[in-house]
Amino acid sequence: MLGQKHKTLGEFIIENQSSFQYTSGELSRLFNAIRLAAKVVNHEVNKAGLIDILGAAGETNIQGEDQQKLDVLANDIFIQTLKNREIVCGIASEEEDDFISINSQDENHQNKYVVLIDPLDGSSNIDVNVSVGTIFSIYRRVTPVGTPVKIEDFLQPGNKQVAAGYIVYGTSTMLVYTTGDGVNGFTLNPAIGTFYLSHPDMQFPEDGKIYSVNEGNYIHFLQGVKDYIKYCQQEEGDRPYTSRYIGSLVSDFHRNMIKGGIYMYPKSSITENGKLRLLYECNPMAFIAEQANGLAIGGRTRILDIEPTELHQRVPFFCGSKNMVIKLQEFLDKYK
């Protein structure tokens, strides 16, 4: 049970600020904004069935997907919270057509960070009370400080991330993040509204027994992916593996990191580039995976090495326990 003996998120950031190569005070303020927004979204998610914020909002996002009411609310909460703290110079959201340039009230503002965010991952599960989450990614801008941000500040490869994380709104609410020095998880104590360190130094087991993929699309997958799924199902050694697929990336990833497994969203004959977004989902999750002794690839390419070409770019995504991803790679390489 969580108690006062556990470090709070704020205390942990201060105690470990030496591991962050940039200005630690700015990072602390930025995480304070994300933490506050997460608590507000958590409150809204938990009361969603009691008020009129379930179902579709009647609009579609830039990808042509129906926006859920809670999607829009979560997007507004994170954007406004980050704006109000005046710590970032730009925001890009999966729910917005274009990036948002933030002009500080201070004419001499020195804000150096941009945030890319998926405000409510897995929102198609909202109406059926399944866990959803938030994914965020933080970069240092590449254009001159004090000027309006430009598209190149956001189109950076994942290996340039200075921090990334996710919040999972489930039976408990957890915030998991990395600044490039390991992965740590914090659980919200709802009684006092504080995140406590509950999962220090999180690691993917090198081997796992869970594979997570939408097998309903099996017929459309590339042959290498089909062969790997068949391999997972064969009765040999520690196989067959267990199939577990929630449909919320945050939830599937979180389970696999704790128990050992692989998550797959391949390209197919109906989704030529896959479905997941490089900047809002794949890059931050890949950063976390690699910091937790896992691997993340987009086929034959390391996710973090992909050079983005557009804000809402989609890529195939495979990540999880190291040996499982390596084995998948062997099957994919057969069909070069």
- Tens of pLDDT, residue by residue over 91-105, are 999 999 999 998 765
Question: CA-to-CA distance for 105 and 83, rounded, in angstroms?
Answer: 11
What average pLDDT does the segment 302-316 reach? 97
2 lies in a domain? Answer: no
Question: Which residue range forms the structural domain that includes residue 114?
Answer: 9-199
- Residue 335 burial (C-beta neighbours within 10 Å; 0-12, 13-18, 19+): exposed
* pLDDT for the residue 1: 42
205 lies in a domain? Answer: no
- Known binder of ligand: residue 172? no
- Known binder of ligand: residue 275? yes
SS3 readout for the chain: CCCCCCCEHHHHHHHCHHHCCCCHHHHHHHHHHHHHHHHHHHHHHHCHHHCCCCCEEEEECCCCCEEEHHHHHHHHHHHHHHHHHCCEEEEEECCCCCCEECCCCCCCCCCCEEEEEEEEECHHHHHHCCCEEEEEEEEECCCCCCCCCCHHHCCCCHHHCCEEEEEEECCCEEEEEECCCCEEEEEEECCCCEEEEEECCCCCCCCCCEEECCHHHHHHECHHHHHHHHHHHCCCCCCCCEECCCCCHHHHHHHHHHHCEEEEECCECCCECECCEHHHHHHHHHHHHHHCCEEEECCCCEHHHCCCCCCCCECCEEEEEHHHHHHHHHHHHCCC
Most confident of 64-73, 107-116, 244-253: 244-253
Domain termination site, one of 152, 175, 199: 199
What CATH number did the domain enclosing 254 receive?
A: 3.40.190.80
Looking at the fold, whether 81 and 158 belong to one and the same domain comes out as yes
What torsion do the CA atoms of 85, 90, 93, 97 make, to the nearest 10 degrees? 130
- Known binder of ligand: residue 214? yes
Confidence band of 85 (pLDDT split at 50, 70, 90):
confident
The answer, yes or no, to whether residue 256 has pLDDT greater than 70, is yes
Looking at the fold, whether 70 and 166 belong to one and the same domain comes out as yes
Looking at the fold, whether 143 and 89 belong to one and the same domain comes out as yes
Q: How many domains does the chain have?
A: 2
Looking at the fold, whether 136 and 40 belong to one and the same domain comes out as yes
204 lies in a domain? Answer: no
CB 316 within 8 A of CB 265: yes
The answer, yes or no, to whether residue 330 has pLDDT greater than 70, is yes
Looking at the fold, whether 236 and 266 belong to one and the same domain comes out as yes
- Known binder of ligand: residue 118? yes
- Known binder of ligand: residue 227? no
What average pLDDT does the segment 213-234 reach? 96
Looking at the fold, whether 235 and 192 belong to one and the same domain comes out as no
Looking at the fold, whether 114 and 218 belong to one and the same domain comes out as no
- Known binder of ligand: residue 123? yes
Question: CA-to-CA distance for 278 and 268, rounded, in angstroms?
Answer: 17
What percentage of the chain reaches a pLDDT higher than 90?
69
Least confident stretch, 17-21, 62-66, 165-169, 180-184: 62-66
Q: Per-residue pLDDT tens for 23-60? A: 657 778 889 899 999 999 998 877 655 445 455 555 56
Domain termination site, one of 199, 218, 243: 199
The answer, yes or no, to whether residue 122 has pLDDT greater than 90, is no
What percentage of the chain reaches a pLDDT higher than 70?
88
What average pLDDT does the segment 228-253 reach? 96
* pLDDT for the residue 86: 80
Looking at the fold, whether 148 and 262 belong to one and the same domain comes out as no
Least confident stretch, 69-73, 79-83, 156-160, 178-182: 69-73
Q: Per-residue pLDDT tens for 270-300? A: 888 999 999 999 999 999 999 999 999 998 8
* pLDDT for the residue 50: 46
- Is the full-model pTM beyond 0.75? yes
Looking at the fold, whether 185 and 243 belong to one and the same domain comes out as no
Looking at the fold, whether 221 and 311 belong to one and the same domain comes out as yes
Mean pLDDT of the chain: 89
Confidence band of 2 (pLDDT split at 50, 70, 90):
very low
Looking at the fold, whether 109 and 178 belong to one and the same domain comes out as yes
* Pairing status of strand 210-212 against strand 242-243: parallel
What average pLDDT does the segment 148-167 reach? 97
290 lies in a domain? Answer: yes
* pLDDT for the residue 266: 96
- Known binder of ligand: residue 124? yes
4 lies in a domain? Answer: no
* pLDDT for the residue 170: 85
Domain termination site, one of 199, 234, 254: 199
What average pLDDT does the segment 158-170 reach? 96
pLDDT: is 49 or 253 the higher one?
253
159 lies in a domain? Answer: yes
Strand partners, 163: 138
What CATH number did the domain enclosing 141 receive?
A: 3.30.540.10
Looking at the fold, whether 298 and 272 belong to one and the same domain comes out as yes
3 lies in a domain? Answer: no
- Known binder of ligand: residue 52? no
- Known binder of ligand: residue 265? no
Report helix angle 223-233 to 322-333, nearest 10.
Answer: 130
The answer, yes or no, to whether residue 3 has pLDDT greater than 50, is no
